[in-house]
Structure 1
Amino acid sequence: MKYMVILKANADSEAGVAPSEEIINGMQKFNEDLANAGVLLAAEGLQASSKGARVKFEADGTKKVTDGPFAETKELVAGFWILQVKSRDEAIEWTKRIPNPGWDEFEVEVRKVFEAEDFGEEFTPEARAAEDKLRERVEAQQQK
């Protein structure tokens, strides 16, 4: 099972405050532990929303782009991990080990990633084959 572990942003991350060397080292150690356990698929920190944009897809087909920053800090993401684990409980146990990013309080969300069997009969054998082919192509591109 794949899980996305989402580190919620706060005022410091949105202000672009860089983490200390100690915090960077702690996060690197945590990521090494994940990699050594064979559960880490990806891990990245995200820049402040002021360097991003949102694209809203309207009912009439138009697309509206809004540049950051965005007001609701508690709804923003500061970073993420993608974990390949055996269960939700295992994902939560790893999440509990995340070092403090130097904030008084922080919140992390754990979300299961959809897998083929989660879609039921609507995910036809043809759609599954096309998805498998696309994933193989993406993996091959990443190897370059």
Structure 2
Amino acid sequence: MPILPSTENSLLVRTSFVDDESWADVLSVVMTENEDGFRAYVEVIDDPTWSEADCEQVRYAALATGEQAAVLFIVDNAALEPDYPVLVVDLLDLEHEPFRCIASELWGVDNNLNIANMDWEEFADMAQSDGIFRGFA
């Protein structure tokens, strides 16, 4: 696996290269400010050498960079489905199981976990029975 960049922003790593249109849509949703002016601050990794990499491979590579954000986002095959449920991976506590978050709510996970305003459990525990966090409302 290639080396991921060291950055203060969360990494958004593309591991599925089956649908370029859906990938572009995911990026558009993630990078667009919501009605309150918030958006996710991510470093986009769009490199085919990450094709089909699993969660643990990406997590390990992110941890090897030294400086990293608290959270990692992976756009795999499942994340290209409606609402774009991106895989969310904790980089601070390896015991935490990943969960999914729809792209339009990724800003809240990114912003709050990276400044330690909220805890992992506050998001993971609000994921619905399908394992997807869709917001607090």
Higher helix residue share: 1
Question: Which one has the bigger strand percentage?
Answer: 1
The two structures share one fold, judged by TM-score above 0.5: no
Of structures 1 and 2, the one with the larger relative CO (CA 8 A, separation 6+) is: 1
TM-score by length of structure 2 reads 0.29
What TM-score results when the alignment is normalised by the length of structure 1?
0.29
Specify the structure having the higher radius of gyration (Cα): 1
